[in-house]
A = this chain, B = another copy of it.
């Protein structure tokens, strides 16, 4: 999957979440994190981000509430605790840790299959895990969020 395709998938997830009135939480940096915030701002949803470092200006331009945690990757635990549903899009080792932390903390996890990176591996791995939903489009991801949180369509 190309970087552009991944960025567009994340943009679409953010946009659909915002259209449905959800607050979007992310790690606040570039790539997928930027795309999802940018998408959310297209429909004027609130975006919240937990940075690993100490400075407000490490956030991308589409974050409304920047929270510098100073915790390094331990901030991943807060990313998932702050969220009612966690959506995994592409990603690397940090994303892998967030899938583990989200499940350890009993958060719903949705994996966007076809988005590359760790998410594609995890889609295979967790295919049989009842705590994980594997979907293959941004639309289905956001429908799953609505269903999990009992929000009407």
A residues whose Cβ falls under 8 Å from a Cβ of B: 23, 46, 48, 54, 65, 67-74, 76-78, 81-82, 92-101, 103-105, 121, 125
Number of copies: 4
Cβ-defined partner of A77 (8 Å) among B70, B81, B96, B105:
B70
Q: How far is the CA of A37 from the CA of B72 in the complex (A)?
A: 26
Among A95, A99, A101: residue with most chain B CB under 10 A:
A101
Q: In the complex, are the beta carbons of B101 and A73 less than 8 A apart?
A: yes
Cα distance A78–B93 when bound, in Å? 16
Q: Are B125 and A73 in contact (CB under 8 A)?
A: no
Query: How far apart are A21's CB and chain B's nearest CB, in angstroms?
Result: 13
Q: Whole-angstrom distance between the alpha carbons of A16 and B100 in the complex?
A: 28
Tell which of B76, B81, B96 touches A54, judged by Cβ atoms closer than 8 Å. B81
> How far apart are A48's CB and chain B's nearest CB, in angstroms?
7
Residues of chain B within 8 A of A105, CB atoms compared = 54, 70, 72-73
Find out whether the CB atom of A72 lies under 8 angstroms from the CB atom of B73: no
* A52–B81 CA distance with the chains assembled, in angstroms: 11
Query: Are A74 and B67 also in contact (CB < 8 A) when A97-B101, A98-B100 are?
Result: no
Q: Could you say which residues of chain B place their CB within 8 Å of the CB of A48?
A: 65
B-chain residues with CB within 8 Å of residue A71 when the two chains form the complex: 70-72, 74, 77-78
